[in-house]
Amino acid sequence: MPPRKYPLAPLELRPSGLMGRVFVPAGDGPRTSPALMEWELRGESWTDEHPHDEFNYVLAGRLYVECDGVTVEARAGDVVQVPTGATGRYWAPVYARLLAVYGPNPEGLPSRVHEHRRLPPESPANPPGQQAG
């Protein structure tokens, strides 16, 4: 089988409300190969749950990810995994650009989006991940 080239997709406001581009779409239904996309968070938070592993490679900025009560901070060059079936909350107080890889979804189960919201400006009284009073 020859190599397959995926053309550069435009960076656009996705139906999710996030800026991003899809290289290899997840699509609906079963898939045995990974999906690949780039997305950005700019002072915003995103919470979702997938029936597949999700890996996010931080290309730029600072990203926080919370899953199962544990929060990690990731910077450019770091990779964060949220495992199959777990709810992941991702947020960037200022900016993060990510390359996301979704693992295979052979049963074609749907993903669930829980929340997308703008974050209040970051300050010492409002540390990352906390809601303003």
pLDDT of residue 133: 36
Which pLDDT tens digit goes with each residue over 17-71?
889 999 998 888 899 999 999 999 999 999 999 999 999 999 999 999 999 999 9
Gap between the Cα atoms of 46 and 60, Å rounded: 17
pLDDT of residue 124: 47
Q: Are 113 and 16 in contact, with CB atoms under 8 Å apart? A: yes
Q: Is 3 exposed, middle or buried (0-12, 13-18, 19+ CB in 10 A)?
A: exposed
Which pLDDT tens digit goes with each residue over 72-123?
999 999 999 999 999 999 999 999 999 999 999 999 999 998 999 999 887 5
Q: Are 73 and 64 in contact, with CB atoms under 8 Å apart? A: yes
pLDDT of residue 66: 97
